[in-house]
A and B are shown apart, each in its own frame.
Chain A
C-alpha cells in the first residue's frame, strides 16, 4: 500500500461523504430497480426517488410498539443502522483512505453486517407472533448458508492481495490491474453476487414486494414494525443494499476511486461510484425480471453453488499464486 500521508480531515470528509452517498444511494438503487422492473413489465412505475419519499414519510410518523415486545424490538433498528454505518465509514467506497483505514478489514465488515442480521432476527422473535419467528428462522437459515460463500470468497480475495484489509485489496487491484481479470476474481464475483442477492433479500431468494406472509423472509421478520420505526428498518435495509453493491463493484472494478488526497477527486469518485452501482442495479433487476422466486428449500442449492464458486476461486487463486 502507498505510504501516503493524508490528513484526518480528509479522511473524515471522505467517510462522511460515503455515509451520505449510501443513505441516499441505497433507497435510490431500490427505486431504480423497481422502475426498471416496471418498465420491463410494460408499466410506468413509481419515480426512482419514491423509496426516499417513503422513508421520509415513515420517519415522520408516530412511534408504535406492539404489545408484549421488549427493548430488543426497540433497539434492533439502531443496531442495524449503527453497524451498517460503521461499515460504510471504514469501507473504501469513494476513497482508499477512509477513517479508521487500518481497521477496515473485510472480516470486520462481514461480521458487522452479521450483527445487523442477528439484531433483526431477534427483533422478529421478540413479539412472539408466528410470522416474526418464521421470518427470523428463514432469514437466519439463508444467512447461515450464505455465510460460507461470503467468507470463502473474501478469503480468495485476501489471498490474492495478501491482506484482508479492504483499502489494501482495492489498492492492490489499482496497482496490478491484471489481477482484476484473473479467474479467481470472476469466480469470486459470481459467488459474491449470489451472496448479495441472498443477503439483501432480492429475487430469486426472497420477493421484497410480496404481500402474503407465508412467502415472506425479510418482510415477515419486520412485520411488527410500524410508523417511524418501520422507517428506520427500511432505511437500514436500503443502506445494507447500497453498501454491499458499492463494495462489490469497488472490489472487482475499483477504477474511479480517489487514491490521492484531493477533495475535487472525491466528487468525481462519488459520481463514478453512482454510475458503477447503477450498472450493477440494472444487471440485478434484469435477473429479477427473468426469474421467479425459488421454493425456500431450493435456495440452499443456489447458495451451495455460490459456495462451490468461492472454493474454486480460492483454489485457482492458490494455483496461480
Chain B
C-alpha cells in the first residue's frame, strides 16, 4: 500500500507542477511525475496480483464525517494494473501530442486528476470513498472533453450528453449502494457481511440500480449514446483512456457489487447482464461497420467489445448461479482477458487515430488513404492493434475470445433451460460480431492506410513526433504478448477472478499456451505462430532463389478506361454500403439522392448528389422524444417565472400553506 500511496502522491505532485511550472518544463514534469506514479501503482498492483493478498489503508482525516478507506484486493489490482499501464503510454504520448497543440495548463492538470482517480476507484473500499472518486473520474473526464475546444458546438453538446448520462448513472449507483449500506454500514466489508441478511427483493433492487449506473459507464445499449459523441470530441490521449479503461470501470462495478459484495445473487440478474451485453455487442458492431468517422467507429467498436465482456460476465454469473463454478471461472477469466486485451488494443487504436488526425488534419476515413507510405510506424502499430481486435490467431483478441467461448461452450453441458438460452444467445452474438468486426477494421485499414490519398491533408502527412511513436509501440506490446503467451498472464488474471467468482482450482493447466484442465481443449499460439512463420519464410526463400530479379512495376488494371485517379477508389462509405443495405431494418439509414438535369434534355444529368446518414436509432427514437418533452415542459414551467418578486412571494406562501396542510 505504501508503494501505491507514493504512486498516487507522485501523480498528485504532477498536478501541483502543472499549476506552478510553465512552458516546456511543465510538460516534462507532467510526463515524468505522472508516469513515475503510474509505474509505482502498476508495481504495487502486480505485487497484489502475484501474492493474492490484499493491502489496505484507512483514515478518518481526509473526507469529512466518513473518512477514507482503500483496500487493494486482486480484483481491484487487476484494474489498477490495466489503468496504470495505459496511463504511462498516454502520458508519454501526450508529450509529443501537447507540444504540437501548445495548450495551457488546465488540460494536463485535468488529465493527471483523471488518471489518478481511475487508478484509485478500484481500490476504494467504502461507499463514500468510492462515490467521491467515481465523481472525480466522471467530472475530470467531462471537463477534458470541452477544455480545449469550448467554442465548438459538437464538443459542448458531447460533454452535455456525457455529463447528464454519467450523473444519472452515478445517482443510480449511489442509490443502490446506499440501499446496501443501510443496515450494516458503509464500508464494503460491512456490506459484504450483512448482504445475506437483506431481503432478496431489496438486494435485487440494489443490484439493478447499480447495474444501470455501471452499464451506462460501460457503454451498454441503450445507455451508450454518449460514447459516439464524447470519444470523437475528446483529445486522443483522453479518448484512449476513456475507451480503454474508463468503460472497464463499469465492468469492475458490476463484478464488485454483484460478484463480490452480493456474492453471486439470483440467476436472472446475470441473464439481464448477458442480454444487455448481447444487445450492445450486436448493435455496436453493426454501427462500426457503417461509420466513416474513425473515432466514432472506434467508439462503436468499444460498445461492441464491452458488450462481449458483459456477455462473458453475465454467463459467468449465470453458470455460478446454476452451480457450475468451474465453467463460470473459465468464462469470467475469458471476459477479463478480453477486457485487458481491449484496453491495450483500443488504447493503441485511439492513440493511432490521434496520430493520424494530427498528421492529416482529419479523422474522416473518406478523406484518408495511402498513409502506410507516409506514416509507416504509426501504420504498423495501428495495424497490429486492428488485427488484434479482429481476433487474428496469436494476437490477444483471439486468445481471450477463445477462452470465453470455451467457458460458454462447456457450460452447455448441464444447466437449466434459461441459462441455456442465455448461453446460446451469447455464443451467437459472439459469432455475429466476429465477422462484422472484421469488416469494420478491414475498412479502417484498407481505406484509411492503404490505397491512395483522398485529400491534400492525407497526401502531405508526415510521421508524428518520437514520443507518440514510442507510446504507440508500448501499447502494441500487450497485444502480441497476451496473444502469443497467454498462459503466462492467465494466473494473474485468475487471482482477480477468484474475488468475484470464488472456487477451487484454476480450470486451466499452466504453460505458455492455454489448456483446459479437466476438459479437452487447448491452444498453443506460440507453436502456431512458429509454424506460420516457418511456412512463410520457406515459400519466400524458394521464390527469392527462383526469381533473382526484383519485381517489375506496372500499371494497375483500369478495365480499358482512363488513368485511375484517387477519386475512383472505394471509400469507407461505399465499403460499408452492402452491409448497411442488408441491415437496413436495424440501422434505418437516411439516403437523399438529388439529380440535376441538363437544360436541353432530362435524359442527361448535370450533377448527382448522394447523401447517406446512419443515425443512432436509440438516440432518435428513445432519447430525443424525451428531451423534446422535457424542453416543452421546461418552457411551460418558465411561464410561472416572470421576474416579479410579488409572484415569487405568493408561490412561497402557497407552498408553505400546502406543506402545513399536508403535515397536519
Name A62's contact: one of B406, B432, B523, B547 (CB within 8 Å). B547
A105-B521, A137-B570 known; A118 and B536 CB under 8 Å? no
Judge if B151 is at the interface, Cβ distance under 8 Å.
no
Interface flag for B549 (CB, 8 Å): yes
Given contacts A62-B549, A137-B575, A103 and B555 within 8 Å (CB-CB): no
The answer to whether the Cβ of B20 comes within 8 Å of any Cβ in the partner chain is no
Asked if B589 lies at the interface with its beta carbon under 8 angstroms from chain A, I say no
Asked if B547 and A228 sit within 8 Å, CB to CB, the answer is yes
Chain A residues 102-160 with CB under 8 Å of chain B are 102-103, 105, 107-108, 111-112, 114-115, 117-118, 121-122, 124-134, 136-138, 140-141, 143-148, 150-152, 155, 158-159
| B120 touches A (CB below 8 Å) | no
11 residue pairs from A and B, CB less than 8 Å apart? A1-B520, A70-B373, A89-B531, A103-B527, A115-B392, A126-B446, A128-B452, A133-B575, A136-B442, A155-B427, A228-B547
Closest-by-CB residue of A relative to B534 is A82
- Looking at the complex, which one of B424, B552, B568 makes contact with A65 (CB distance below 8 Å)? B552
Question: Would you call B578 and A296 a contact (CB within 8 A)?
Answer: yes
Instruction: Name the residue in A133, A146, A150, A151 with the highest tally of chain B Cβ atoms < 10 Å from its Cβ.
Output: A133
CB contacts under 8 Å to A, within B619-639, are none
Complex Cα spacing A68 to B553, Å? 9
Q: Tell whether, in the assembled complex, residue A140 and residue B439 are in contact, meaning their CB atoms are under 8 Å apart.
A: yes
Contacts of A159 in B (CB 8 A): 409, 412-413
Report Cα–Cα, A130/B515, bound state, in Å: 45
1/0 per residue, CB under 8 A from A, across B388-404: the answer is: 00111100001000100
Given A65-B553, A68-B556, A70-B372, CB of A138 within 8 Å of CB of B578: yes
Q: Does B369 contact A (CB under 8 A)?
A: yes
CB-CB < 8 A to A1: which residues of B? 520
Chain A proximity of B294: nearest CB distance (Å): 16
- The residue in chain B whose Cβ has the minimal distance to the Cβ of A296 is B578
For the complex, give the distance between the alpha carbons of A106 and B574 in Å.
33
Across the interface, B555 reaches (CB within 8 A) one of A63, A67, A112, A168, namely A67
A152 touches B554 (CB 8 A): no
Q: What's the minimum C-beta distance from B326 to chain A, rounded to whole angstroms?
A: 14
Report the Cα distance A107→B442, complex, angstroms. 20
A64, CB-defined interface residue at 8 Å = yes
A66-B554, A128-B569 known; A111+B391 contact, CB < 8 A: yes
Residue from A90, A128, A155, A168 with most neighbouring chain B CB atoms (10 Å) = A128
CB-defined contacts of A232 to chain B, threshold 8 Å: 539
Interchain CA distance A89-B527 in the complex, whole Å: 12
Asked if B523 and A105 sit within 8 Å, CB to CB, the answer is yes
B512-552 at interface with A (beta carbon < 8 Å): 513, 515, 519-525, 527-528, 531-533, 535-536, 539-540, 543, 546-547, 549-552
**Does B531 lie within 8 Å of A63, measured CB to CB?**
no
Contacts of A315 in B (CB 8 A): 424
Q: Which residues of B contact A79 (CB under 8 A)?
A: 536
- With A65-B551, A105-B523, A148-B431 in contact, do A129 and B556 touch (Cβ < 8 Å)? yes
What 17 new A-B contacts, CB under 8 Å, besides A164-B406, A314-B424? Answer: A63-B551, A65-B553, A71-B372, A89-B531, A108-B402, A112-B528, A121-B442, A128-B370, A136-B446, A137-B575, A137-B578, A147-B435, A151-B427, A164-B405, A164-B409, A165-B520, A224-B557
Residue from B370, B405, B442, B524 within 8 A of A122 (CB atoms): B442
Residues of A within 8 A of B410 (CB): 162
Partner of A72, one of B450, B513, B559: B450
Residues of B in contact (CB 8 Å), total: 83
Could you tell me how many residues of chain A have their Cβ less than 8 Å away from some Cβ of chain B? 87
Given A118-B392, A164-B406, check contact A130 B569 (CB 8 Å): yes
The complex places the Cα of A3 from the Cα of B623 at a distance, in Å, of: 60
Interchain CB contact under 8 A, A100 and B531: yes
> Which 8 pairs of residues, A with B, have the shortest CB-CB distance?
A133-B570, A147-B435, A125-B446, A144-B435, A128-B451, A151-B431, A63-B551, A163-B520
A126 to chain B, nearest CB (A): 5
| A266 nearest CB across to chain B (Å) | 20
- Known A-B contacts A111-B392, A129-B564, A147-B431; the reply to A155 vs B409 at CB < 8 A is yes
Within 8 A of B (CB), among A54-69: 59-60, 62-69
Expressed in whole angstroms, the Cα–Cα distance for A263 and B448 within the complex equals 51
Residues of A within 8 A of B406 (CB): 164
A229→B539 CA distance, assembly (Å): 12
Among B289, B369, B519, B552, point to the contact of A63 (Cβ < 8 A).
B552
Contact check, A152 vs B442: say whether CB atoms are below 8 A apart. Answer: no
Chain A min CB distance to B412 (Å): 5
Residues of A within 8 A of B391 (CB): 111, 114
Is there an interface contact between A147 and B524, defined as CB atoms closer than 8 Å? no
Q: Chain A residues near B442 (CB, 8 Å)?
A: 118, 121-122, 125, 136, 140
Q: Within 8 Å of chain A (Cβ to Cβ): is B89?
A: no
- Which B-chain residue is minimally distant from A72 (CB atoms)? B450
Instruction: Tell whether, in the assembled complex, residue B523 and residue A82 are in contact, meaning their CB atoms are under 8 Å apart.
Output: no
Task: List chain B residues, Cβ under 8 A from A314.
Answer: 424
Residues of B close to A146: CB separation below 8 A: 435
Enumerate chain A residues within 8 angstroms of B369, measured Cβ to Cβ: 128
Instruction: Give, as a whole number of angstroms, the nearest-CB distance from A278 to chain B.
Output: 27
Could you say which residues of chain A place their CB within 8 Å of the CB of B549? 62-63
Residue in B515, B535, B550 whose CB lies within 8 Å of A86: B535
Residue of B428, B520, B555, B575 contacting most chain A CB atoms (<10 Å): B520
B555 A141 Cβ-Cβ under 8 A: no
A66 in contact with B556 (CB, 8 Å): yes
C-alpha spacing A122/B540, complex, angstroms: 20
Cα distance, A146 to B523, chains bound together (Å): 24
Please judge, given known A-B contacts A102-B515, A130-B570, whether A86 and B582 are in contact too, CB under 8 Å. no
Chain A residues with CB under 8 A of B558: 129
Taking a contact as CB atoms under 8 Å apart, the answer to whether B569 and A70 are in contact is no
Chain B CB within 8 A of A32 CB: no
User: CB within 8 A of B554: which of A67, A99, A107, A155?
Assistant: A67
- Interchain CA distance A285-B436 in the complex, whole Å: 30
Query: CB distance B393 to A112 under 8 Å?
Result: yes
CA distance A165 to B402 in the complex (A): 12
A318 within 8 A of B: yes
Chain B 408-447: CB-based contact to A (< 8 A → 1; otherwise 0): 0110110000001000100110111011101100110111
Whether B409 and A158, one on each chain, are in contact in the complex, defined by CB atoms closer than 8 angstroms, is: yes
B63 beta carbon closer than 8 Å to chain A: no
**Which residues on the B side are within 8 Å of A70 (C-beta)?**
372-373, 450
Are the C-beta atoms of A108 and B523 separated by less than 8 Å? yes
Greatest chain B CB density within 10 A among A1, A71, A118 is at A118
B577 interface residue (CB < 8 Å to A): yes
Choose one: A74, A107, A114; the contact of B438 (CB below 8 Å): A114
Contact of B543 among A131, A228, A321 (CB under 8 A): A228
